[in-house]
């Protein structure tokens, strides 16, 4: 499963980078969304996938059969941060569109010798 | 006291603005006190033993500001303060208090004086370097004194670029030496010459230090800044660019001779470059039309002469027959000519300044016939020029004879038969020296008087005092040379050739004007005869200067290099700094891929093993298919709405993966956040482009595809390699065991977030708060139309 996931994550990264290299601001933000999905899955996969129970103390569950809790805690933090950043980006894109009347980043260039 | 003397000029400089603004008397009179005090102090030191004073600056780094007054240091100090006094006196009459910003001028000049005294007295290489650069900076300021003129700024920049270039290389040489010997003190380095010689970096250090000296002393091919430095006021040209600063390089070579003379590269570079400079400068001096231009090239040429003699002096380190050997004159001759050159060149510059001042031009083609109008200037110019040409009864004759002796002896230097060319080259160069000396005097004072911008008359006596004093030195030194040589030069020779002489009494050189019909005399006669013939026929061979086209010159090379550094580099950076964020992304991703993949495979970090892998269930495969299809849909979506919804699909399938892999908290968070995100995306979409209704599929770009695919492959390989070689067990066992005992909780993920690693959570909350505030700010605070700056109401 981990090997399959490695390929899936690679594919997610590929799609994310391809979108980030596009011209439309919205597609770039979608790309960053895919990129954070890929990163979260990568953390989880690297922690090991073969568990039988969630990391919650319960009767009849041994420590060894529990999933590793540390990557999960890391991902939880990462999800919240990436959400904050994505929300910020989206509003930034929205404002940029309002001010500049474009969402094409090739048209968003500073003037030469812009102070 | 000794140390304070170095800083006396700079301390005096602090009062200059006050003296200039508040007191009507010419500021120069107050400045004049400083070099007079200095010169009397240093003259009183003549004959005393070498003295040393130091002030530790940074003890841990051996940094000291020090003053070591041995023979060489004292000789230069007297030269600097003595000519400094005469130049200040001259400048009082040359610069007008009502028209010039005198406080600037004298501050720069005093700064320079301190810097120069520091250079010649420093025993610590770092403080030597600091003072060295201070001379470059003060010279820069003085050349650009009339900063409203283009020529001044160009000349100042050029001299700065070249001398600082050399200075930095010299610092490199110093650091190598310090690294080899473990000390920053020059005198301690000299005790370790055998250690230095064994170092593989010996030649490198020698060449680097030499480059500093060559650039400062305007040697070939770095002389080009000196003619352009003639834009400075004439007192500056006389002081810095003939008598003192350009001799800092000479000083450096002399000072380091006991260390580097063992290196034959050093010797040959000095001798050959010195002779080339000597010839080149004297040859091109006749081409010049500007009085100060002629004098600049003649300075270049004379400095080359001194430099080549120092090179011959270094040869004495390679022969064994002691004091009797033939190279013993060289160091002596170099220093003797150094003093002579300072006297006559200082006088000539002052005369050029007087001519400029009294006639309004420095163009030699417009001048002529001033002999009867300006008799005193004529006499001084005549004395200076004939001394420069090497004729009796002036001091230049003695040093020219010594120069010929030195060069004739140099051909005895055993390991190069090519050395026979040395005296020949020196002789030819002397002929041209003779020619431009005649050209200088006759051009100004002989012939017919022409129309001049001002009506010429003799200069005021105040302006003439300094050149007259210098000219009388020129004559006095011919008749009683040994007084000066015994007092000043012989102690200085000890510093250059400690291998030959231990005490002043060992230097058994006695100068006399007449020493029989020796080859040197015939050479001098030859110089006069051929030089006179060449001068008479100058109209016929002048064309030779036009053979070499202007674009081929070293000045053009300099301009081209400056253009390369400026325009071409700007073009180059514009080539890749396109302003397009996508291009920068491509650079970054490509660099990451190259670095990671090459490290992974070169360092043998890649591995693949199927141990420790978990089973794949049917549900897993179904979810993978959903995720991949969702991602493809994002890529191929024709409308943005499709893309956003497909992104939602991907997010939910990620949440399903979290369920599958036993991460309930993650699944919950992911589901809710994905929902909010999609809502936000839709909100943004709703407000975005009305104009781009013609929504199209993401166009395929091969370059982007390759980069993206490379990143994907890289991530996959990294993931495989990382998973295949787990080195250590997880620390999570600790959390699992202690979660209830220590923290009183059952949900391990939550306990980690708020208990074990609560700080992460604290700052993640901060991130959310910041994002919220920033979003609020972006929406609420906006600039009103028409306003442009600084409003955040």
Average pLDDT over residues A64-89: 91
Specify burial of residue B175 (Cβ count, 10 A radius: 0-12, 13-18, 19+).
middle
Say how many CA atoms lie within 13 Å of A90 toward its Cβ: 24
Q: Which residue among B647, B715, B757 places its CB closest to the CB of A30? A: B647
- Is pLDDT above 90 for B688? no
Residue A8: inside a domain:
yes
**Confidence class for position B177, pLDDT limits 50, 70, 90:** very high
SS3 state at B139: helix
**A26 within a domain of the structure (yes/no):** yes
pLDDT of residue A103: 72
> A15 by DSSP, 3-state: which?
helix
**CB atoms A33 and B647 under 8 Å:** yes
User: Taking the CB of residue B454, how many other CB atoms lie within 10 A of it?
Assistant: 11
| Domain encompassing residue A38 | 2-51+66-106
Are residues B719 and A6, on separate chains, in Cβ contact within 8 Å?
Answer: yes
Q: Is there a domain that residue A92 lies in?
A: yes
Confidence of residue B612 (pLDDT cuts 50, 70, 90): confident
Mean pLDDT of chain B: 87
Task: For residue A13, tell me if it sits in a domain.
Answer: yes
The pLDDT value given to residue B580: 82
A2 and B640 in contact by Cβ < 8 A? Answer: no
Look at residue B691 in the predicted model and tell me its pLDDT: 46
The proportion of chain A whose per-residue pLDDT surpasses 90, expressed as a percent, equals 44
Q: What is the pLDDT of residue A112?
A: 54
Which chain B residues have a beta carbon less than 8 Å from that of A44?
657-658, 661, 663, 666
- The answer to whether B254 and B357 are in contact (CB under 8 A) is no
Contact B430, B298 (CB under 8 A): no
pLDDT at site B671: 95
**What tokens appear for B553 in the block?**
């010159």
Residues of B with Cβ-Cβ distance to A69 under 8 angstroms: 732, 735-736, 748-749, 752
Beta-bridged to residue B747, according to DSSP, are A56
**Which A positions 76-105 lie with beta carbon below 8 A of chain B?**
76-77, 79-81, 83-88, 90-95, 97-98, 101-103, 105
CATH number at residue A79: 1.10.287
Mean pLDDT in residue range B89-98? 88
Please tell me the predicted confidence (pLDDT) of residue B785.
58
Query: What is the 3 state secondary structure string of B346-396?
Result: HHHHHHHHHHHHHHCCCECCCCCCCCCCCHHHHHHHHHHHHHHHCCCCCHH
Residue A78 lies in a domain: yes
**Residue-wise pLDDT tens digits, B417-455:** 667 778 888 888 899 999 999 888 888 888 877 777 777
Report whether pLDDT(B684) > 80.
Answer: no
Across the range B612-641, mean pLDDT stands at 88
- Classify residue A114: in a domain, yes or no: no
The residue among B297, B307, B302 whose CA lies nearest residue B269 is: B307
User: Alpha-carbon distance A100 to A98, whole Å?
Assistant: 6
Examine residue A19 and state whether it is found in any structural domain, yes or no.
Answer: yes
Residue A35's closest chain B neighbor by CA?
A: B712
Select from B631, B684, B723 the Cβ nearest to the Cβ of A6. B723
- B758-792 pLDDT, tens digit per residue, is 999 999 999 999 999 999 998 888 766 555 554 44
More confident residue, B552 or B743: B743
Whether B414 shows a pLDDT value over 60: the answer reads no
Mutation site for B-interface testing, chosen from A23, A50, A79 by largest number of B Cβ within 10 Å: A79
Mean pLDDT within A40-52: 88
Is A32's Cβ below 8 Å from some Cβ in B? no
The pLDDT assigned to A114 comes to 46
- Minimal Cβ distance to A13: which of B647, B677, B715: B715
Per-residue pLDDT, A61: 81
Average pLDDT over residues B744-763: 91
pLDDT at B695: 58
Verify whether the Cβ–Cβ distance B663 to A72 is below 8 Å: yes
| Interchain proximity A90–B711, CB inside 8 Å | no
> Beta partners for A53?
A66
Predicted confidence (pLDDT) at residue B683 exceeds the cutoff of 70? yes
**Is the predicted pLDDT of residue B299 greater than 90, yes or no?**
yes
Residue B759: exposed, middle, or buried by beta-carbon count in 10 A (0-12, 13-18, 19+)?
A: exposed
Indicate if the pLDDT at residue B349 is higher than 50: yes
In this prediction, does ipTM exceed 0.85? Answer: yes
Confidence grade of residue B637 (pLDDT, cut at 50, 70, 90): confident
Q: What is the pLDDT of residue B383?
A: 92
In angstroms, the separation between the Cα of residue B567 and the nearest Cα of chain A is 16
Is A58 inside a domain boundary? no
Reported as a pLDDT band with limits 50, 70 and 90, residue B75 is: very high
What residues of chain B lie within 8 A of the CB of A68, using their CB?
730, 732
Q: How far from chain centre, in Å, is Cα B71?
A: 29
Closest CA to B648 of B616, B676, B683, B620: B676
Position B359 pLDDT exceeds 50: yes
- Test mutation, A69, A93, A95, chain B, max B CBs within 10 A: A69
Longest distance between any two alpha carbons in chain A, whole Å: 69
pLDDT above 80 for B128:
yes
Nearest-Cα distance to chain A for B165, in Å, is 30
Chain A residues in contact with B768 by the CB 8 A cut-off are 80-81, 83-84
Stretch (H or E) spanning B330 = helix B328-359
Nearest Cα of chain B lies from the Cα of A16 at a distance, in angstroms, of 8
When divided into structural domains, chain A yields a total of 1
Band the pLDDT of A110: cuts 50, 70, 90.
low
The reported pLDDT for the residue numbered B513 is 60
Subunit contact B712:A11, Cβ cutoff 8 A: yes
- CA nearest A55: which of A44, A70, A45? A70
Confidence of residue B479 (pLDDT cuts 50, 70, 90): confident
Per-residue pLDDT band at B551 (split at 50, 70, 90): low
Cross-chain Cβ contact B701/A29 below 8 Å = no
pLDDT of B791: 42
Cα–Cα dist B150/B134, whole Å: 23
Is A37 near chain B, with CB under 8 Å? Answer: yes
Residue of A42, A44, A94 lying closest to B661 (CB–CB): A44
Name the percent of chain A in helix, strand, coil, to the closest 5: 70, 5, 25
């Amino acid at each position: 499963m981990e090997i399959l996931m490695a390929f899936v994550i690679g594919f997610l990264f590929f799609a994310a980078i391809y979108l980030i290299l596009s011209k439309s601001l919205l597609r770039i933000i979608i790309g960053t969304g895919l990129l954070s999905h890929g990163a979260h899955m990568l953390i989880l996969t690297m922690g090991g996938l073969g568990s039988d129970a969630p990391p919650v103390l319960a009767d009849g569950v041994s420590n060894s059969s529990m999933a590793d809790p540390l990557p999960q805690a890391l991902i939880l933090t990462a999800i919240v941060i990436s959400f904050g950043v994505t929300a910020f980006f989206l509003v930034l894109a929205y404002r940029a569109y309002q001010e500049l009347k474009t969402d094409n980043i090739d048209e968003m260039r500073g003037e030469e010798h812009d102070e | 006291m000794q140390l304070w003397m170095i800083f006396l000029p700079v301390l005096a400089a602090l009062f200059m603005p006050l003296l200039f603004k508040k007191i009507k008397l010419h500021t120069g009179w107050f400045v004049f006190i400083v070099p007079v005090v200095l010169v009397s102090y240093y003259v009183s030191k003549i004959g005393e033993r070498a003295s040393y004073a130091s002030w530790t600056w940074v003890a841990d780094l051996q940094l000291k500001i020090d003053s070591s007054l041995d023979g060489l240091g004292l000789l230069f100090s007297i030269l600097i303060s003595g000519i400094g006094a005469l130049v200040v006196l001259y400048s009082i009459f040359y610069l007008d208090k009502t028209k010039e910003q005198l406080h600037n001028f004298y501050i720069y000049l005093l700064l320079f004086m301190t810097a120069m005294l520091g250079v010649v007295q420093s025993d610590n290489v770092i403080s030597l370097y600091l003072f060295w650069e201070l001379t470059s900076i003060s010279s820069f300021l003085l050349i650009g004194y009339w900063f409203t003129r283009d020529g001044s700024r160009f000349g100042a920049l050029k001299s700065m670029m070249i001398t600082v270039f050399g200075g930095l290389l010299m610092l490199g040489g110093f650091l190598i030496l310090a690294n080899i010997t473990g000390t920053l003190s020059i005198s301690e380095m000299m005790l370790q010459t055998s250690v230095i010689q064994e170092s593989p970096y010996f030649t490198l250090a020698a060449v680097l230090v030499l480059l500093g000296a060559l650039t400062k002393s305007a040697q070939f091919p770095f002389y080009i800044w000196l003619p352009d430095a003639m834009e400075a006021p004439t007192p500056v040209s006389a002081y810095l660019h003939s008598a003192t600063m350009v001799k800092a390089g000479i000083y450096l070579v002399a000072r380091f001779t006991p260390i580097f003379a063992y290196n034959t590269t050093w010797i040959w570079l000095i001798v050959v470059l010195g002779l080339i400079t000597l010839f080149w400068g004297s040859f091109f001096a006749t081409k010049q039309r500007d009085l100060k231009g002629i004098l600049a090239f003649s300075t270049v040429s004379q400095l080359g002469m001194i430099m080549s003699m120092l090179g011959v002096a270094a040869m004495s380190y390679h022969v064994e027959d002691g004091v009797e050997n033939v190279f013993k004159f060289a160091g002596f001759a170099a220093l003797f000519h150094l003093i002579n050159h300072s006297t006559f060149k200082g006088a000539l510059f002052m005369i050029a300044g007087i001519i400029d001042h009294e006639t309004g031009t420095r163009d030699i083609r417009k001048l002529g016939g001033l002999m009867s109008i300006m008799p005193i200037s004529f006499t001084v110019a005549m004395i200076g020029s004939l001394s420069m040409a090497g004729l009796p009864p002036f001091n230049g004759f003695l040093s020219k004879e010594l120069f010929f002796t030195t060069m004739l002896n140099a051909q005895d230097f055993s390991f190069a038969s090519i050395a026979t060319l040395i005296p020949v080259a020196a002789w030819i160069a002397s002929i041209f020296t003779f020619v431009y000396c005649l050209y200088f005097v006759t051009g100004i004072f002989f012939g017919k008087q022409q129309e001049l911008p001002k009506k010429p008359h003799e200069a005021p006596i105040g302006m003439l005092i300094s050149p007259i004093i210098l000219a009388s030195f020129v004559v006095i030194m011919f008749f009683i040379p040994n007084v000066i040589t015994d007092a000043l030069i012989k102690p200085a020779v000890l510093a250059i050739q400690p291998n030959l002489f231990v005490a002043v009494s060992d230097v058994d050189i006695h100068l006399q004007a007449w020493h029989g019909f020796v080859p040197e005399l015939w050479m001098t006669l030859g110089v006069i005869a051929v030089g006179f013939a060449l001068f008479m026929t100058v109209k016929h061979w002048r064309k030779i200067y036009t053979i070499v086209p202007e674009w081929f010159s070293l000045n053009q090379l300099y301009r081209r290099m400056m253009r390369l550094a400026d325009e071409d580099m700007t073009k180059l950076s514009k080539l890749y700094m396109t302003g397009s964020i996508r291009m920068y992304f491509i650079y970054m991703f490509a660099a990451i891929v190259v670095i990671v993949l090459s490290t992974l495979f070169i360092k043998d970090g890649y591995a693949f093993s199927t141990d420790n892998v978990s089973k794949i269930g049917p549900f897993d495969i179904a979810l993978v298919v959903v995720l991949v299809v969702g991602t493809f849909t994002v890529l191929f979506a024709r409308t943005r709405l499709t893309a956003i919804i497909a992104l939602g699909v991907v997010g939910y399938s990620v949440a399903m993966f979290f369920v599958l892999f036993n991460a309930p908290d993650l699944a919950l968070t992911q589901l809710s956040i994905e929902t909010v995100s999609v809502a936000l995306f839709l909100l943004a979409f709703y407000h975005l482009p009305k104009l781009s209704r013609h929504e199209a599929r993401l166009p395929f770009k091969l370059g982007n595809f390759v980069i993206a695919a490379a990143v994907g492959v890289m991530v996959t390989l990294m993931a495989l390699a990382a998973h295949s070689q787990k080195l250590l067990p997880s620390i999570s066992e600790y959390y699992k065991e202690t979660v209830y005992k220590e923290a009183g909780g059952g949900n391990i993920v939550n306990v980690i977030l708020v208990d074990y690693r609560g700080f992460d959570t604290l700052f993640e909350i901060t991130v959310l708060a910041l994002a919220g505030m920033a979003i609020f700010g972006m929406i609420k605070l906006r600039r009103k139309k028409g306003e442009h700056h600084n409003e955040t109401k």
